[in-house]
Structure 1
Amino acid sequence: MIGATTVDCLVPASAGVALVAGVLQYSLGDPIFVPMVIACALAVSFVNHVLGPVLFRGSLGKLVFGLRVVRVTDARRSGFWRAVGRWLLGFLYLGIMVVAQDGGGIGEAAGLRVIRHRDERR
């Protein structure tokens, strides 16, 4: 789970910098550089953590490590609004995990759970 979380944190951060510096052509000296990186990173994070689970049953990091995001009640796809709720709660829980140095994941936030792909019942 730690590997998937690491990938899911690094992808938006690096994509944010790449988009702002490479595509939008801002440099580090521009006063708008950091706010633009944050905005782009949040947009990439939204796509990765909301649209990924809705369309592919997991974010990039989870798919790379063989994990899936499913509903707690019936193990079906997450649904858009549950994925949005989990994404928003993830910011809060990530902050708590950093302070507590737990690293245990966000459990069953917004009625969703992360499972191993091989344990998924078909």
Structure 2
Amino acid sequence: MRVPEEAGEGRLIWAAVTDVLLAPGIGVAVVAGLLQYSLSDLVFAPAVLGIALAASFVNHVFGTVLFRGSFGKQLFGLRVVRATTGRRSGFWRAVGRWLLGFVLLAAAMLAEDGVGIGEANGLRVIRRRDERQ
């Protein structure tokens, strides 16, 4: 089986922006809406951070394992597959990719360079329509 080429950076950027905004949005919604904490409560920021990390994990790891991509990737017609075989990601590869994403994001911020995670941990982001061919 031929593994499709990596998706273009344009789609990847919009998918990443969607996913980056989704996690803290869920964190704020849960902490302010369901838990009824206000911004002045000392636990507000740590609770938002914890729930945002949990939401990010569920979105990126379980989304990748179950649906072949996070919410943002699904929205923009992308899939995450193994770079060598084009098959589904395993759980631990998805966890490694999620963790590596934080490391590379921090490195990119420090270097002030737009670095993507590309084929991190043996996984590749492709366009959904290229997978069907």
Is the TM-score greater than 0.5?
yes
The answer to whether the 8 A contact 1:2-1:103 is kept is no
Q: Give the aligned partner of residue 8 of structure 2.
A: none
Cα deviations by residue, 1:83-109 (Å, 9 ceiling, x for unpaired): 000000000111222333443420111
Q: Give the aligned partner of residue 91 of structure 2.
A: 80
Gap regions ≥5 residues in structure 2? 1-11
Gap regions ≥5 residues in structure 1? none
Runs of 4+ in 1 over 6 A off after TM superposition: none
Q: Give the aligned partner of residue 61 of structure 1.
A: 72
Q: Give the aligned partner of residue 15 of structure 2.
A: 4
Q: How does 1:110-121 map to 2 (within 5 A)?
A: 110-121=121-132
Counterpart code for 2:128: H
1:13 to 2:24 alignment = yes
> Which of 64-73 and 112-121 deviates more?
112-121
The answer to whether the 8 A contact 1:20-1:26 is kept is yes
Q: Give the aligned partner of residue 93 of structure 1.
A: 104
Counterpart code for 2:77: G
Cα deviations by residue, 1:55-106 (Å, 9 ceiling, x for unpaired): 0000000011111000011011111110000000000111222333443420
The answer to whether the 8 A contact 2:105-2:115 is kept is no
What TM-score do the two structures reach when normalised by structure 1?
0.94
Tell me the C-alpha RMSD between the 2 structures. Answer: 1.2
What TM-score do the two structures reach when normalised by structure 2?
0.87
Q: Give the aligned partner of residue 45 of structure 1.
A: 56
SS at match of 2:81: strand
> Alpha-carbon deviation of 1:120?
1.1
| Residue-pair matches, total | 122
